[in-house]
Amino acid sequence: AQKITQTQPGMFVQEKEAVTLDCTYDTSDQSYGLFWYKQPSSGEMIFLIYQGSYDEQNATEGRYSLNFQKARKSANLVISASQLGDSAMYFCAMTRKGGKLIFGQGTELSVKP
């Protein structure tokens, strides 16, 4: 069965520092996609970054990068130069065939001034 695991229920980071949010996954599929979403307290789910299972380069989008280690089945999100507005819940997710998403349980990130 496919599964996403986020082992950090909550994280704190000092403003302007980098932070890594952990995500491991389990799948027997050869083709899959890995996604990170940000959910502020207001509730909207914001797409941040995508990594395909066949992509050899780690994905980057501005201050977000995805540290993809296929052999370890991990897809950690790195946020550089944290800002107060980065405080939110972060979900790691994986697509199955047909595009359905499997979510992890989320990590609540708090950025301290």
State which residue, 19 or 91, has the beta carbon closest to other proteins. Answer: 91
> For residues 43 and 113, which CB has a smaller minimum distance to other proteins in the complex?
43
Residue 10 and residue 100: Cα distance in Å, rounded? Answer: 26
Q: In this structure, are strands 10-14 and 107-112 parallel, antiparallel, or unpaired?
A: parallel
Interface residue with other proteins among 1, 28, 41, 42 (CB under 8 A) is: 42
Told to check if 103 binds other proteins by CB under 8 A, we report yes
3-state percent helix, strand, coil for the chain, nearest multiple of 5: 5, 50, 45
Strand partners, 33: 52, 95
Q: Work out the burial of residue 24: count CB atoms within 10 Å of its CB; fewer than 13 is exposed, 13-18 middle, 19 or more buried.
A: middle
Q: Sign of dihedral through CA atoms 7, 12, 16, 17? A: negative
97 binds other proteins (CB under 8 A): yes
Select 35 or 68, whichever has its Cβ closest to other proteins.
35
Residues 57-86, one symbol each (x = binds other proteins by CB under 8 A, - = not), give ------------------------------
> Which residues in this chain contact other proteins in the complex, by CB under 8 A?
29, 31-33, 35, 37, 42-47, 50, 52-53, 91, 95-101, 103-106
